[in-house]
Amino acid sequence: MKNKKITSLILCGVLMTLVCSFAWAKVDVYDSKKLKWTWTVNGDEDNGGSSTITMKEETIQKGVNGYSFSGAITNKYEYGFVNVKVTPDDATMDILKKCTGFSFKIMGDGDDYAVKITTSDVKDYAYYEYRFPTVKGQPITVVVPIEFLMQPSWGKSIGAKVNTELAQFIEFQTTRNGSPGTFAFKLWDLKLYTGGTPALSAAEKKANDNAVKAAADAEAKMAKPVGGSYTDIVWNVVDNFEYADGYMIYFGDPRVFNGNKISKGDVYTLKFTCTASRDMEAEMRIYLVDHTSAAQYHTELTPQVIVPGSKLKAGVPFSAEITLTANKNATSTKVEANLIGMETQGAGKKGSKGSGVQKAFTITFSEFVFAKK
């Protein structure tokens, strides 16, 4: 299923304000006793990507079964992603088509995710969706009234509200837009609601509040060193001629900043040895960058460093060490707000996506040592 850069709805306030209590009509609730779903997963292989996801059914709580998901996002496909597809049987489909909302429980890794109802009237993959944060290592309840589902801005708008009569299935998707690295989450207790607007109960709200506090307390006790030494890093460098004269990558393995935030005045070093899959046309320019919507998707946090001698030849090892000094603050601790960026010039024409002469290439690192001074 295709995915594109998405201008996401900014989530204001904390997680527990996901839903206000404004249910005027009687709400009918349908749970696992009434609903039957088939759960399947896929990566971005149909887009030429290599992101992976595995699914395992397990007991989440006593007497409660659910599914755990884990894998890794890559940027072989520029906007790398994975999906969880939840398909209803005929009886459940009848309820889905008239539902006024749904809810589920999730224990995540602190990343944001999206949930969608796919419908047959959407032809460009811009399905109505709702983005939500997770709490690292803690279970929470997410309640989604149908009115919360919106089409992403990159797609063709077909109306203000999703037409559930044309529903096909419910889908969960990662939202990191190609930032490489691992992910893990669990899902269970998927419910449908009809007859009124669903809302978090007082008990669910309290449990969510406690989850946020527990995660914050655990995070505060953890030592979070920046960087390390890695031998499994590959950069898939893509054509950027739509926006600039060359190629680029946003590299965001969660291990590099480990939940830390880049701050003005920070000094980092990067020592590496690498080879390229083809001859490069120019030297590399490396910098740190914030790629979130809050940073207009590209705010450079350090000056670009031109790496002398880095006009790589195919298969020929090259080594260098650079220093990066932050002159801006990242907007958050999210992976996509704390990225390593690399650009290099190429033979192509700005404004004509895909017009590069030599096309995308990979840079494979046998040594990659990142540290904060």
Confirm whether 8 is domain-assigned.
no
Residues 174 and 210 occupy one common structural domain? yes
pLDDT at 62: 82
Average pLDDT over residues 35-48: 96
The one-letter amino acid code at 245 reads D
pLDDT top residue among 150 and 349:
150
Position 28 pLDDT exceeds 70 = yes
pLDDT top residue among 1 and 179:
179
Residues 96 and 179 occupy one common structural domain? yes
Confirm whether 2 is domain-assigned.
no
Residues 283 and 348 occupy one common structural domain? yes
Confirm whether 10 is domain-assigned.
no
CA dihedral (138, 139, 144, 149) positive or negative: positive
> Taking a C-beta distance cutoff of 8 angstroms, is the pair 111, 131 a contact?
no
Query: Two tokens at 116?
Result: 């969608």
pLDDT at 178: 67
Q: Which of these three, 221, 249, 268, is where a domain ends?
A: 221
Residues 171 and 187 occupy one common structural domain? yes
Average pLDDT over residues 323-331: 98
Residue with the two structure tokens 């590069």: 356
Position 203 pLDDT exceeds 50 = yes
Kindly report the average pLDDT of the chain as a whole number.
90
Residues 198 and 67 occupy one common structural domain? yes
H/E run at residue 221: helix 202-221
What are the two backbone dihedrals, phi and then psi, of residue 116, each rounded to the nearest 5 degrees? -135, 155
Residues 232 and 217 occupy one common structural domain? no
Report the number of distinct structural domains present in the chain: 2
pLDDT at 346: 86
DSSP3 helix / strand / coil % (the chain, rounded to 5): 15, 40, 45
Q: Which of these three, 191, 221, 251, is where a domain ends?
A: 221
Residues 55 and 148 occupy one common structural domain? yes
Residues 293 and 353 occupy one common structural domain? yes
Ordered DSSP codes for 160-213: SS--GGGEEEEEEEE-STT--EEEEEEEEEEEEEESS-----HHHHHHHHHHHH
Q: Give pLDDT tens digits for 101-123.
A: 999 999 999 999 999 999 999 99
Confirm whether 351 is domain-assigned.
yes
pTM: 0.67
H/E run at residue 38: strand 37-42
Confirm whether 68 is domain-assigned.
yes
**Local confidence band at 63 (pLDDT 50, 70, 90 cut-offs):** confident
Q: Which of these three, 186, 203, 221, is where a domain ends?
A: 221
Residues 21 and 157 occupy one common structural domain? yes
Beta-bridge mates of residue 363 = 235, 276
Q: Which of 217-226, 230-239, 276-285 has the highest mean pLDDT?
A: 276-285
Confirm whether 152 is domain-assigned.
yes
CATH of the domain at 293: 2.60.120
Position 24 pLDDT exceeds 70 = no
Rg (CA), the chain: 22
| CA 221 to the chain's CA centroid | 26
| CA 352 to the chain's CA centroid | 27
CATH of the domain at 91: 2.60.120.430
Confirm whether 354 is domain-assigned.
yes
The one-letter amino acid code at 258 reads N
Residues 202 and 286 occupy one common structural domain? no
**Local confidence band at 19 (pLDDT 50, 70, 90 cut-offs):** very low
Confirm whether 295 is domain-assigned.
yes
Q: Give pLDDT tens digits for 89-98.
A: 999 999 999 9
Position 348 pLDDT exceeds 80 = no
Ordered DSSP codes for 23-37: --S--EEE-TTT--E
| CA 23 to the chain's CA centroid | 31
Q: Give pLDDT tens digits for 253-312.
A: 889 999 899 999 999 999 999 999 999 999 999 999 999 999 999 999 999 999 999 999
Residues 29 and 148 occupy one common structural domain? yes
Beta-bridge mates of residue 65 = 59
Average pLDDT over residues 24-33: 84
The one-letter amino acid code at 78 reads E
Q: How far apart are CA 162 and CA 147, in angstroms?
A: 8
Query: Two tokens at 52?
Result: 């992976």
pLDDT at 20: 40
Residues 62 and 109 occupy one common structural domain? yes
- Which domain, by its residues, includes 206? 15-221
pLDDT at 91: 97
